[in-house]
Structure 1
Amino acid sequence: MIFCSPPMQPQQPSQLIELSQLRNNSVSTGLRLSFYDQQNHNHQFPHQNHPQHQQIVVDNTSAMLSLFNEDLNAQVRQQTEEIDQFLRAQGEQLRRTLAEKRQRHYRALLSSAHEPLARRLREKEVEVEKAKRRNNELQTRAAQLAAETHFWQVKARSQEAAAASLRVHIQQALMGAAAANDRKANSIGAAASEVNAAEDAESAYVDPDRPSLSEPRCKACQRRTATVLLLPCRHLSVCTECERVAHVCPLCCCARSSSIEVYLS
């Protein structure tokens, strides 16, 4: 409590006013009791030691004010510290709240952007898988085509070699037939002087199936030109008519498997 004295009137005792409204809590109980004791003493002896009484009142008032100021300053400091601590706590809580809200907002944005990106990524992965399968199919098909091409190339080379060998055998057969015909022509020329006039008359008729002296004669009928090459022995030994019924070669008696007709020019 703080007590103030009213203005002093001459020839009147001083009166003290209790300022209880300035502060609810008492500052010092001991001082207050001392002050009440002094006040009671003054009321009991109002006319004794008036200057000393005033000095005591002033000293007590100064002490009370000093204590009040110290207590007030202490409480102000305490309240200031509490307010600062409260503000710091509230600021830290606000900072954490804002950080959490910011993180939630970022996560929501990332989640909203992740779904279409994930869908596009899955679509691209499906396209890549399709492209890989298509590429594998094309590579497999290319390998098959390359193998088929190689096979046909090998087969063509083998057929070319067989055709070349067949041409060589045909030429050899033709040359052998021509040599045989030459020998036969020489033997026939020795007997040509004995041909009579009847043969001269018959010479006017030309048999279309009769082979010429330069052409090989069929070894089956001995009348027509040999124009069929029998396989696999490769002998030019029969004509087209005899080839229909011939099952073996007339020269080597080898069983025929197929035949090739040769056009002689």
Structure 2
Amino acid sequence: MTHSTSRRAVLCGSAATAVLAAAGSIPAAGTAHAEGRGERRAKGGPEIGILLYDGYSLLDPTGPAEVLSRLPGANVTMIAERRGPVRTDTGDAAVVADRSIAEVDRLDVLLVPGAGNRGTVAAMKNQALLRWIRRIHRNSRWTTSVCTGSLVLAAAGLLDGRKATTYWASADYLESEFDVTYVAERSVRSGKIITAAGVSAGVDMALYLASLIAGDTTAKAIQLAIEYDPRPPFDSGSAADADPRLKELALRLLAESDDSHG
């Protein structure tokens, strides 16, 4: 017996396929369908840029990218000082930047990820990156961050007098070094700036942002599409409830994984 498996067949049963085709979500049988990146941009969807810099945490940009790339007509681009692969804090993975900051003058959405100590400190001192962030922010619809990316926004002067969140271990630093009020929430909106807490909170923030851009129904559909229904095996993800010894171990693990490739 010969089996022929297409992407549509894998994702949709026959009944679901008929419903989606009727709704215009996928082409009916026999309908030509070709769409390149240029055609996507012509739809008027949001231009979303995610900044990469050496030492970022892998999920910080890629989690939100998984959500935001599903927005109708959206164009998500990884951006760095130079085109090419940019390594994470552990050094074990890299994401390719398709554009350099010199090539990007305007975005609808800017996202700045967080990093370990090495990457965050370097980004906060990188005047070229800070100038570019300020320039993009002037015309963006939304400027966002994940984890310690809020420290980079603060270093760029974008969080002065605002409420924001960050990685739990960086909260005191954010408040003591900048004119920022820390709020212990998964995401915090202040005007057109949305900051997310540590690493995994970027997915939550991206779904919230998706609802602001395309409405709650679309955001809910994206959440279902990526099957984001977290049920972690341990109830240990909140710093507010964590034992001091667990916090110490968590920070040691981060520092060791970061420094080992520094």
User: Normalising TM by the smaller chain, what interval?
Assistant: under 0.3
Using the size of structure 1 for normalisation, the TM-score is 0.18
In proportion to residue count, which structure has more helix? Answer: 1
In proportion to residue count, which structure has more strand? Answer: 2
